[in-house]
Amino acid sequence: MANPGETTGAVLLAQPGVRRVPSPQIELFDRPGFLPAELCDGLIALIDQDRRPSTIADPNGDAAFRTSETCDLAPTEPAVRELEARLLALHGIDPAHGEPVQGQRYAVGQEFKAHTDYFEPTGQDFARFCSVAGQRTWTFMIYLNHVAAGGATRFKAIGKTIQPDPGKLVCWNNRRPDGSPNPATLHHGMKVRAGVKYVITKWYRERPWGWA
């Protein structure tokens, strides 16, 4: 592969259970049942252990824009090692290009309003976040539990809403074929109406991660 921080639709679709969402605007895939229940439970326990209020790269004046809690999961944890091995087998991206695994917890009323995962080239912190590892290439997100109500992920540009099912993986290419950021990846982590939502997110970069 030309860039070890990339994967392709062909690589993903060669794996059992992976499906592409029909759209010419975005490379978006899902894989129901990607993680077994016991691994999901182990990751939830790690998130509960270290969660803290979430932040955003470029503050926009909206204090309610991202109201979840988050944490970076230690790579030495057995559950994290198993997760990373499963992801590598799925997409073949060089692990050196991966950011630390992040976990999120959404309580009732919490959400992450419509946003993209790539860093805006005109954003005030673009150089700080992209100077070492470059732009984000792919996002891999996994729902860890059943949510009583709400908590779906909505891709507004293509009219697609994905419901949170335990162990389901959703992934997408954050860029267009020419390498530019793809605004059609705009997505909204919708409000949880009842229960709690737990999610794992793993991002990959153009260059090796390189941060301590």
CA distance 87 to 92: 8
Given this model, what pLDDT does residue 194 score? Answer: 97
What is the rounded CA–CA span in Å between residue 6 and residue 25?
18
Q: What is the mean pLDDT of each run of 10 residues along the chain (212 residues)?
A: 84 98 97 98 95 66 75 96 98 96 94 91 82 94 98 96 98 95 96 97 94 57
Taking each helix axis from N to C terminus, what angle separates 37-50 and 78-91, rounded to the nearest 10 degrees?
A: 120
pLDDT at residue 191 in the model: 95
Kindly state the tokens that stand for 180: 């530019």
Name the nearest CA neighbour of 117 among 177, 36, 204: 204
Q: Write the single-letter amino acid at 79.
A: A
Looking at residue 136, its pLDDT comes to 94
Other beta carbons within 10 Å of 134: 18
Residue closest to 13 by CA, chosen among 29, 25, 1, 24: 29
pTM of the predicted model, to two decimals?
0.93
The answer to whether the CB of 173 falls within 8 A of the CB of 182 is: yes
User: 10 Å Cβ neighbour count for 79?
Assistant: 21
Set out the domains of the chain in order of their start, with CATH numbers.
9-18+31-205 (2.60.120.620)
How many of the other CB atoms lie within 10 Å of CB of 15?
Answer: 14
